[in-house]
Amino acid sequence: MMDWLDFIVLTLLGLGVLFTVIRFVLGPKLSDRVVALDTLNIIIIGLIVFLALVFESKLYLDIAIVYAVLAFLETVVFARYLEGKNNDNS
Amino acid sequence: MKYLITFITLLVVYLFLAGFVIEEVILGSFVSAVLTILLANRLNFKVDWHFPLKLIKFIFVYIPVFIWKLILANIDVARRVLSFKIPLNPGIVKVKTNLKGDLGKLTLANSITLTPGTLSIDVEDDCIYVHTIDVKKSSKDQNQKEISGPFEKILGGIFE
Amino acid sequence: MTIVSYIFLIIGAMFFLLGGLGVLRMPDTFNRIQAGTKATTLGAFSIVIGVIFGSVENHLDWIPKLIIIIVFIAISSPIGSSTIAKATYRSKNIPDNLVQDDFKKRGENQ
Q: Do B71 and B139 fall into the same domain?
A: yes
Distance between CA A77 and CA A14 in Å, rounded? 27
Residue B72 falls inside a structural domain? yes
Chains touching C, CB cut-off 8 Å, 3+ pairs:
A, B
B124: β partners? B127
How do beta strands B118-124 and B127-132 pair?
antiparallel
The parent domain of residue B73 ranges over 51-159
Q: Total domain count for chain C?
A: 1
Residue B27 lies in a domain: yes
Q: Which residues of A touch C37 (CB under 8 A)?
A: 38-39
Same domain flag for B66 and B107: yes
pLDDT value, residue B13: 84
Residues B121, B55 share a domain: yes
pLDDT of residue B23: 83
Is the residue at B71 inside a domain? yes
Across A18-36, average pLDDT: 86
What's the domain count of chain B?
Answer: 2
Does C12 touch chain A if contact means CB atoms closer than 8 Å?
yes
pLDDT of residue B98: 72
Q: Which of A22, A46, A71 sits opposite C43 (nearest CB)?
A: A46
For C62-84, the pLDDT digits (tens) are 888 888 888 888 888 888 888 88
Task: Tell if the CB–CB gap between C42 and B70 is shorter than 8 Å.
Answer: yes
Inside any domain, residue B131: yes
Residues of A in contact with C5 (CB under 8 A): 53
pLDDT of residue B54 exceeding 70, the answer is yes
Q: Is C99 domain-assigned?
A: no
In tens, the pLDDT along B106-122 reads: 877 888 888 777 788 87
Residue B90: inside a domain: yes
* Shared-domain flag, residues B20 and B82: no
Q: Give yes or no: residues B32 and B70 share one domain.
A: no
Q: Looking at the domain assignment, is residue C8 inside a domain?
A: yes
Q: What confidence score (pLDDT) does residue C109 get? A: 45
pLDDT computed for residue A70 by the predictor: 92
ipTM for the complex?
0.84
pLDDT tier, A86 (very low <50, low <70, confident <90, very high otherwise): low
Distance CA A9, CA A5 (A): 6
pLDDT tens for each residue of C2-61: 888 888 888 888 888 888 888 888 787 788 888 888 888 888 999 999 888 888 887 778
- Structural domain boundaries enclosing C17: 2-93
d(CA C31, CA C43): 18
Does residue B62 share a domain with residue B35? no
Does residue C11 form part of some domain? yes
DSSP state string for C40-106: HHHHHHHHHHHHHHHHTTT-GGGHHHHHHHHHHHHHHHHHHHHHHHHHHHHTT---TT-S-BSSGGG
Å from C34 to nearest chain B CA? 6
Task: Specify whether B81 is located in the same domain as B8.
Answer: no
Residue A64 and residue C84: Cβ atoms within 8 Å?
no
Query: Is the same domain home to B119 and B58?
Result: yes
